[in-house]
């Protein structure tokens, strides 16, 4: 099944993690909350790690999320992981997966893929291609 949602983010909490190795991009880690509306409704706690240049917008991120809510009316929890790179104006090398064996409740056994889109007006969307 295909289902999608818009989402907003809040409660950004940077951590004090700084790697012992310096590279050409600043590496950071933060925690945030996402709120989903649509076929997927609920919230997630996201652990977000990136190597990113604020001035050029170039970088890559990896995110692990713990979701709680409903997917097309089925209630439960699961984890999802996603990553992408950007040259400042695009998304490339995108990866997204519902973590196998992470579903609970009516979402027990959920599996599939996840993609993210950012509309020209700045609205963020996630599209889930999944099976339960």
pLDDT single digits (tens) 111-132 = 999 999 888 898 999 999 999 9
Record: fold of 2-131: AOC barrel-like (2.40.350)
Rounded to the nearest integer, the mean pLDDT of the chain is: 94
The ranges assigned to domains in the chain are 2-131
Instruction: Give the global pTM.
Output: 0.90
Q: What percentage of the chain exceeds 90 in pLDDT?
A: 80
pLDDT digits (tens, 9 = 90+) for 45-82: 999 999 999 899 899 999 999 999 999 999 999 999 99
With residue 36 as reference, give the H or E element that holds it: strand 26-38
On whether the CB atoms of residues 83 and 64 are closer than 8 A, the answer is: no
Report the distance separating Cα 45 and Cα 95, nearest Å.
19
Kindly tell me if the per-residue pLDDT of 17 is higher than 90. no
- 21 phi and psi angles, rounded to 5 deg: -120, 130
pLDDT at 88: 81
């Amino acid at each position: 099944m295909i289902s999608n949602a818009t989402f907003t983010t809040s409660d950004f909490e940077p951590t004090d993690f700084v790697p012992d190795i310096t590279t050409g991009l600043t590496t950071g880690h933060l925690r945030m909350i996402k709120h989903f509306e649509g076929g997927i409704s609920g919230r997630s706690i996201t652990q977000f790690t990136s190597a990113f240049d604020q001035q050029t917008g170039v970088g890559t991120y990896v995110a692990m999320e713990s979701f709680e809510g409903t997917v097309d009316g089925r209630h439960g929890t699961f984890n999802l992981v996603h990553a992408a790179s950007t040259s400042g104006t695009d998304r490339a090398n995108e990866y997204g997966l519902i973590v196998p064996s992470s579903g609970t409740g009516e979402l027990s056994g959920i599996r599939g893929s996840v993609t993210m889109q950012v509309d020209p007006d700045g609205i963020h969307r996630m599209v889930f291609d999944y099976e339960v």
